[in-house]
Chain A
Amino acid sequence: MKSSTIRVALVGNPNTGKSTLFNDLAGLHQRVGNYPGVTVEKKTGHYQHAGFTFEVIDLPGTYSLAPRSPDEMVAVDVLLGRRAGESAPDIVLLIVDATNLQRNFYLVSQVLSCGLPTVVALNMVDIAQERGIEIDVKKLAAKLGTPVVAIQANRGQGIPELKAALLSASQSTPAKSENPFPAEFIDQALGLSSRLDSNLKLPLPLFLVERLILDGNGYLEDQLLPINAHAEREYLQSVRQSLSQHGFPIPAGEAMARYAWVGRTLEDVVRTPTERRLTLSDRIDAVLVHKLWGTLVLLAVMALLFSSIFQFAEPAMSWVDSGVGWIADVVGSQLAPGALRSLLVDGVIGGVGAVVIFLPQILILFAFIAFLEDSGYMARAAYLMDRLMAGVGLSGRSFIPLLSSFACAVPGIMSARVIENYRDRLVTMLIAPLMSCSARLPVYVILISAFVPSHHYLGGIVGLQGLTLLAMYLVGIFAAVGVAWVLKRTLLRGETPSFVMELPSYKMPSLRTVLFRMAERGWDFLYCAGTLIFSITIIVWALAYYPRSDSLVAETIAGQREQLAAEIAAAAPDSSARNSLLNKLEEFDQQANLTQLEGSLHQQYSFLGRAGRLIEPVVRPLGWDWRIGCAVIASFPAREVVMGVLGVIYNLGTDWDVSVESDQSQLRDRLKSARWDNSGEKVYNLPVALSLMVFFALCAQCAATLSVIRRETNTWRWPLFTFAYMTGLAYVAALLTYQVASRIWV
């Protein structure tokens, strides 16, 4: 008896409208996860039809089923039912682009070789028609031996017919497809198959045996054959040699045989206009990849992308901010002061709030990216920028992820998925956090306005403060270039990845696909924030809160008051010195001051404060005192917290808000008047401010970034590596900055 769930694997080339079709079929019933051990997204969805549940598995878009890496192996393993606990799918749903049949049919040929029941969905038939391409669908189906359904996925047309075809395909046996290879190859493959079976007890599907012969780069050999199977490896080599001598070269033979099959299959099925016509896509391209106009359009698109992340996201971010503030107030007012209230308000709500605030930026950026990708412009942007990016050993595809990282590294890293080559993708993700994101801006702004003199040059057009800000962005960019250069020559060395990229025809993206992509990424991020970032935040909160010693704080305050009283007693009566001391005492006794002082002292006596003192010798060469050290440790979960922590340490109280101008100027004044504990000299001067800014330009103080790197690479190795190299780099650069700067400005 057949089970009532029918599993359908969705396969197709990139840019064929595969995700649009997936959304058409599964609607909201979809789930995204990861295949264990690889960085491939596992996307499944389901729908009901005629009393059956159809489970749709969306396999990553690919031009070929010739695996060269574990990521590419996933699709093959799924189709052949080789993944642990999963049988082969009942049906393969193959989506092909009707305007580009030849290349799409290469994959069709490979899928048919797998021997599963297959249904072909012929997408974008409307555009094909516009271009004068005539396709005889019935004849095509007869030649392939599989159902072929014409659809327009972006308009939802042909979907009922497709569902009906899937249902009937699940109930019939597949027709045997024509093997595109010459008889010699087929004999050799059968020979190798029985040899592996009898000698190694390795019964492989025929498709994989064929692939063993065809894939000469060694990946499959290492994956499938035991290390010590020397005889088999030699035999495989001799099979390849003998085939080459008989006019079937490896690897070109496969492509030639399959494309010959494609030619035979399509010759009396498809009629394309003989003369070249200028398509709409060609006319758009005449502008968009034009040497001058194309560059200008790219700049305009980037400017729009960038400013929309900053500006459109701003109101939404302040809603999130006030929403979080409101929740914190409500929860705070319900609870008595103490550890629980502080945990919930400062730790949980404050901490997660500080991360969730990035959500608007992520949603906007991904709406943009989905639009650019789906419309076909993303490939053009990569094409235009490739020369520039090749200079640092990357390709044009790294451009958008890196540019996005100036707004926020989290979506930047998530968007690196468009980079096919693993090493390139990794390098891009590892240098993305060096781009100065919007969270660094408040740190720069406060320190620059407090310590960099506002000189102006060239008749007031260029200001020193602005130049310093620019310098901070440049520090990050230059560091990124350097790190990319080093990584490409050391850890991630390898063959220069190819830039063989399709420039797909332009099309109007479907709103549904854009919204789905946006929601998917947003959810990814919230999930990340809800688990990992949450735990880190709690740990840092606990370090700043415990051990709570009220008596120690009370003693210190009493001590300070006594000292003030003693000074008053010692001063000459009626002198101005005595009067000012009396004023000081009055200020000291004000409730607001006492509360703030208490907060500051609690922080100083906490584990965090102690850690700050402990690391003071380490940060001293950077010109920092223990308070700054403390603030740097506390800002590990999110770097923008650093100013808030400094605010608490310098007695501004906890209600202090970095985004309020009057609070900012208050912090500036406190920073300017802060003094070293022992010598009484001022802590902050220009060299210290510069070293602190350089440190923040380069450090990895962002739990969200690190956990997204973990999410995207599926291992802890790379986030740890990122944290280590960035912190090291930041320390050395800050050290140099301070040591050089403090010798220039004494």
Chain B
Amino acid sequence: MISLETLSVGQTAKVLRFAGGGDITQRLLEMGVTPGVDIRLVGSAPLGDPLEFEVRGYRLCLRRSEAKKIEIQT
């Protein structure tokens, strides 16, 4: 599987599914990171973590450890 963490800056991908579950998944779903949605990596913080994404027209940041659990299709 390819995870969201492996995206390079400026690249867009489609969200497929979530590995694991729990509150974080629920939270991501509410924030619009749903299966099938387009997500683009905008950049990363100075220390390399967290990552900034664009999804549904707004900016969202996630830690690498969280992005790792999101499976994508480029």
Seen from chain A, the residues whose Cβ lies within 8 Å of a Cβ on chain B are 63-64, 66, 68, 99-103, 106, 215-217, 251-252, 254-256, 259, 272, 285, 289, 291-292, 294-295, 379, 383-384, 386-388, 390, 396, 495-496, 498-505
Decide yes or no whether B7 CB sits under 8 A from chain A: no
Instruction: Quote the shortest CB–CB distance from A577 to chain B (angstroms).
Output: 71
18 more contacts with CB within 8 A, not counting A256-B36, A289-B45, are: A68-B26, A103-B31, A106-B30, A106-B32, A251-B21, A251-B25, A252-B17, A252-B18, A255-B32, A259-B37, A383-B45, A383-B50, A387-B47, A388-B47, A390-B49, A396-B50, A501-B60, A504-B59
Per the bound structure, the CA–CA distance linking A244 and B50 in Å amounts to 33
Closest Cβ neighbor of B49 among chain A residues:
A387
Closest Cβ neighbor of B65 among chain A residues:
A496
Decide yes or no whether B29 CB sits under 8 A from chain A: yes
Closest Cβ neighbor of B22 among chain A residues:
A495
- If A272-B57, A502-B60 touch, whether A383 touches B28 (CB-CB below 8 Å) is no
Seen from chain B, the residues whose Cβ lies within 8 Å of a Cβ on chain A are 17-18, 21-32, 34-37, 43, 45-50, 52, 56-63, 65-66
- If A255-B34, A289-B45, A383-B52 touch, whether A217 touches B26 (CB-CB below 8 Å) is yes
B62–A256 CB distance below 8 A: no
B61–A259 CB distance below 8 A: no
Q: Main SS of the interface on chain B? A: mixed
B35–A256 CB distance below 8 A: yes
Instruction: Quote the shortest CB–CB distance from B11 to chain A (angstroms).
Output: 14
Partner of A66, one of B25, B26, B62: B26
Instruction: Quote the shortest CB–CB distance from A607 to chain B (angstroms).
Output: 52
CB pairs A–B below 8 angstroms (30 shown):
A68-B23, A68-B26, A102-B56, A106-B30, A106-B32, A215-B26, A217-B22, A251-B29, A252-B29, A252-B34, A256-B36, A289-B52, A292-B46, A294-B46, A295-B46, A383-B45, A386-B45, A386-B50, A386-B63, A390-B49, A498-B23, A498-B24, A498-B63, A499-B62, A500-B31, A500-B61, A500-B62, A501-B61, A502-B31, A505-B58
User: Which residues of chain B have C-beta atoms less than 8 A from A252's C-beta?
Assistant: 17-18, 25, 29, 34-35
- If A252-B18, A252-B35 touch, whether A386 touches B59 (CB-CB below 8 Å) is no
Q: Which residue, of B47, B50, B59, B66, has the highest number of chain A Cβ atoms within 10 A?
A: B59
- If A383-B45, A386-B45, A386-B49 touch, whether A495 touches B23 (CB-CB below 8 Å) is yes
User: Which residues of chain B have C-beta atoms less than 8 A from A272's C-beta?
Assistant: 57
Partner of B61, one of A292, A383, A495: A383
Per the bound structure, the CA–CA distance linking A390 and B24 in Å amounts to 16
Per the bound structure, the CA–CA distance linking A437 and B50 in Å amounts to 30
